[in-house]
């Protein structure tokens, strides 16, 4: 069996490596070609070109790199057509992957195409599913409520579980050691203001004011800021202006992520920017408050397009509204601080929702990579 697989971001590289491992366990003679990063290379992939050449985010960035991206799209499609694989698996990054799929379908319609990670049509722009229908033969979904949206557009879709359920978690001993190392013997809160420079720039003043209010109300509350590598210096600058001797976890000094995992396990509460970090916190059983803001124009556009009343994945997967969120115009320091203090005092209901979300995402079942591999194989033509 020959598989051509494409990933363009770190998250896709992680998904791709797990899927490749799952396929290798079920079909030992499988071979791989495609585009990926270090994790997929460990599974035997020789990338057509460096993965980071196609991991471009944002309208302005895409326009700036349009000519080179277009060339890579064409080069990738030509490689797929020349290889004639049994299946082409594209992972997330729809701006790149679906354009490759379109070229492949036009010239080699017999090549089966599977797209891994369903678009968020349940949240906004539902027409994306219908546009995908002529391009892909199957979608693998990370969230349990996504298949009906894809199937309504005529695309077979399988829920295969979310990779967060297999992420390693710190032990109680490791959490205790983290507290001891930083002299934390009282309540502890995480501040997670985002992983992109633009969102950090917008959220930093709000999070700083929240921190000041928390310190005034609870001087014994220690703040810990685990930084993403892309914004480590900006997070350090934010922490320097906060009260109460905050602790910064610089990923460059924590290459294995052990300190971050220990901090997640040790924390009593977290204030986090909206995103998949809410699932990481839920996996660590850390109660949270979610906050996010954007430009005025983005508020207007997204507000009109949004089809759900919550953007927090824990709430959506658990079908509850247990995690408080403050989005857009509601992203204001006073109510956010009050909510953090409330969750710190009474985290019980949220812990039930987090546990339910993790179970629904596949915790305790087969690893998502194996489930994804089985879903691909089960729908292959005989």
Asked if pLDDT for residue 57 goes beyond 50, the answer is no
Asked if pLDDT for residue 66 goes beyond 80, the answer is no
Cβ contact 15:7 at 8 Å = yes
Report the pLDDT value the prediction gives residue 228, as an integer from 0 to 100. Answer: 87
271-298 confidence digits (pLDDT tens) = 999 888 999 999 999 999 999 987 656 5
CATH number of the CATH domain containing 50: 3.40.50.2000
The answer to whether residues 296 and 147 belong to one domain is no
Listing DSSP states for 131-169 in one string gives HHTTT-SEEEESSTT-HHHHHHTT--EEE---GGGGS--
The answer to whether residues 221 and 350 belong to one domain is yes
Report the pLDDT value the prediction gives residue 9, as an integer from 0 to 100. Answer: 86
Asked if pLDDT for residue 14 goes beyond 60, the answer is yes
The answer to the question of residue 264 being in a domain is: yes
The answer to whether residues 89 and 201 belong to one domain is no
Strand locations in the chain, DSSP E?
2-7, 31-35, 87-91, 112-116, 138-141, 157-159, 188-192, 222-226, 247-249, 269-273, 288-292, 325-327
DSSP 267: -
Lowest mean pLDDT among 176-190, 303-317, 329-343: 303-317
Asked if pLDDT for residue 257 goes beyond 90, the answer is yes
The answer to the question of residue 216 being in a domain is: yes
Report the pLDDT value the prediction gives residue 359, as an integer from 0 to 100. Answer: 97
The answer to whether residues 93 and 195 belong to one domain is no
The answer to the question of residue 167 being in a domain is: no
Cβ contact 266:181 at 8 Å = no
The answer to the question of residue 166 being in a domain is: no
Question: What is the rounded average pLDDT for all residues in the chain?
Answer: 92
Q: How far apart are CA 56 and CA 64, in angstroms?
A: 10
The answer to whether residues 289 and 145 belong to one domain is no
Asked if pLDDT for residue 230 goes beyond 90, the answer is no
| Rama region for 312: left / alpha / beta (φ>0; ψ in -120 to 50; rest) | beta
Domain count, the chain: 2
Reported pTM: 0.89
Asked if pLDDT for residue 306 goes beyond 80, the answer is no
The answer to whether residues 239 and 186 belong to one domain is yes
**Domain membership of residue 194 as a residue range:** 172-360
The answer to whether residues 98 and 153 belong to one domain is yes
Q: What is the CA radius of gyration of the chain?
A: 22
- CA dihedral of 347, 353, 355, 360, whole degrees rounded to 10: -170
The answer to whether residues 18 and 74 belong to one domain is yes
The answer to whether residues 213 and 98 belong to one domain is no
Cβ contact 360:10 at 8 Å = no
The answer to whether residues 89 and 229 belong to one domain is no
Asked if pLDDT for residue 39 goes beyond 60, the answer is yes
Residue (of 353, 214, 202) closest to 270 by Cα position? 214
The answer to the question of residue 108 being in a domain is: yes
The answer to the question of residue 131 being in a domain is: yes
The answer to whether residues 228 and 292 belong to one domain is yes
The answer to the question of residue 320 being in a domain is: yes
Cβ contact 229:200 at 8 Å = no
The answer to whether residues 110 and 135 belong to one domain is yes
Report the pLDDT value the prediction gives residue 62, as an integer from 0 to 100. Answer: 54
Asked if pLDDT for residue 299 goes beyond 70, the answer is no
């Amino acid at each position: 069996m020959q598989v051509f697989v494409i990933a363009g971001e770190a998250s896709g590289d992680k998904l791709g490596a797990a899927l490749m491992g799952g396929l290798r366990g079920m079909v030992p003679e499988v071979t791989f070609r495609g585009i990926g990063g270090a994790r997929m290379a460990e599974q035997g992939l020789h990338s057509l070109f460096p993965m980071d050449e196609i991991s471009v985010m944002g309208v302005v960035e895409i326009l700036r790199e349009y000519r080179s991206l277009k060339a890579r799209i064409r080069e990738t499609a030509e490689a797929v057509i020349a290889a004639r694989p049994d299946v082409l698996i594209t992972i997330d990054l729809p701006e790149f992957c679906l354009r490759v799929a379109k070229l492949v379908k036009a010239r080699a319609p017999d090549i089966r195409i599977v797209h891994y990670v369903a678009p968020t049509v349940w949240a906004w722009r539902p027409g994306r599913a219908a546009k995908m229908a002529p391009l892909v033969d199957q979608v693998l979904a990370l969230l349990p409520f996504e298949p009906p949206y894809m199937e309504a557009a005529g695309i077979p879709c399988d829920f295969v579980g979310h990779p967060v359920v297999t992420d390693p978690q710190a032990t109680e001993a490791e959490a205790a050691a983290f507290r001891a190392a930083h002299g934390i013997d009282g309540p502890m809160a995480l501040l997670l203001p985002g992983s992109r420079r633009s969102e950090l720039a917008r959220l930093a003043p709000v999070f700083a004011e929240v921190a000041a209010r928390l310190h005034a109300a609870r001087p014994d509350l220690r703040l810990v800021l685990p930084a993403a590598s892309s914004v480590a210096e900006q997070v350090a600058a934010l922490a320097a202006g906060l009260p109460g001797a905050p602790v910064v976890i610089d990923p460059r000094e924590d290459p294995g992520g052990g300190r971050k995992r220990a901090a997640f396990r040790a924390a009593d509460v977290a204030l986090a920017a909206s995103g998949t970090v809410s699932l990481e916190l839920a996996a660590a059983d850390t109660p949270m408050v979610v906050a996010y803001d954007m430009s005025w124009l983005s508020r207007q556009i997204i507000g009109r397009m949004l089809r759900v009343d919550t953007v927090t994945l824990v709430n959506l997967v658990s079908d509850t509204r247990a995690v408080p969120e403050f989005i857009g115009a509601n992203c204001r320091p006073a109510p956010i601080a009050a909510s953090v203090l409330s969750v710190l005092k009474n985290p019980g209901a949220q812990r039930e929702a987090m546990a339910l979300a993790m179970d629904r995402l596949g915790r305790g079942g087969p690893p998502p990579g194996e489930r994804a591999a089985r879903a691909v194989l089960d729908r292959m033509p005989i």
